[in-house]
Amino acid sequence: MKFLLYLVTFFLLLNVFATAQSLIRDSCKKAAAKSPNVKLDFCVKSLEGNPQSKTAKTLVELVIASTKNAATKTTSLKAMVNKILKEKKYAKDSEMPLRDCLELYTDASASLNEALTSVKSRDYKTATVAMSAAMDAPSTCETGFKERKTPQKSPFAKENDVLSQTILIPLAFTNMLK
């Protein structure tokens, strides 16, 4: 009898994960078709690697999971900047763009939290505006390094590309909810 119970539980869990994978793949395909900036492979891989996304049953749940993922990435970048500033491991004329990036990531984090609250209350217009505001942080951070007297390569170039894609995913999904 226990074996039968385990078998049924196994197939139910398998069905939940298969449904979530299908939702992820279908949603990413639609988002990439509507927004040429959304990279299909990145979208699928980042969501399939996220435990909360794996159990999503609806697009709204996927938006919430992907927005939380973007907020986590933003917090991670804030920690990187703080570490560099605290350890004073930067070129003399890099302090200003580093501090600017820190402020941008802080604002982006607040915007993503606002977006999360808006999605949960089904206010997709406000969520879209908040996500769009957060979307500016990575590129503006990069610009701060490029526009120095002596242009520099940002120490966060790769991370900013990832953050842009990570924010673009819930933004594209939210636009699909309107």
Half-sphere exposure of 173 (CA within 13 A, CB side): 31
Residue 134: alpha-carbon gap to chain centroid: 10
Least confident piece of the model among 17-31, 41-55, 162-176: 17-31
Q: Is the pLDDT of residue 2 over 70?
A: no
Name residue, tokens 């395909």: 29
Query: What's the CA gap between 91 and 35, in Å, rounded?
Result: 38
Return the structure tokens found at 130.
Answer: 């908040």
Q: Is the pLDDT of residue 19 over 70?
A: no
Report pTM: 0.86
Question: How do residues 102-156 score in pLDDT, each as one tens digit?
Answer: 999 999 999 999 999 999 999 999 999 999 999 999 999 999 999 988 888 899 9
Using CA atoms of 21, 22, 26, 27 in order, give the dihedral in degrees to the nearest 10.
-50
Residue-range domains of the chain with CATH: 1-175 (1.20.140.40)
Higher pLDDT, 10 or 102: 102
Query: What's the CA gap between 38 and 34, in Å, rounded?
Result: 9
Given this model, what pLDDT does residue 16 score? 46
Of 54, 156, 16, nearest to 97 by C-alpha is: 156
Given this model, what pLDDT does residue 92 score? 79
Q: Is the pLDDT of residue 80 over 90?
A: yes
Q: Is the pLDDT of residue 50 over 60?
A: yes
Model confidence band, residue 18 (pLDDT cutoffs 50, 70, 90) = very low
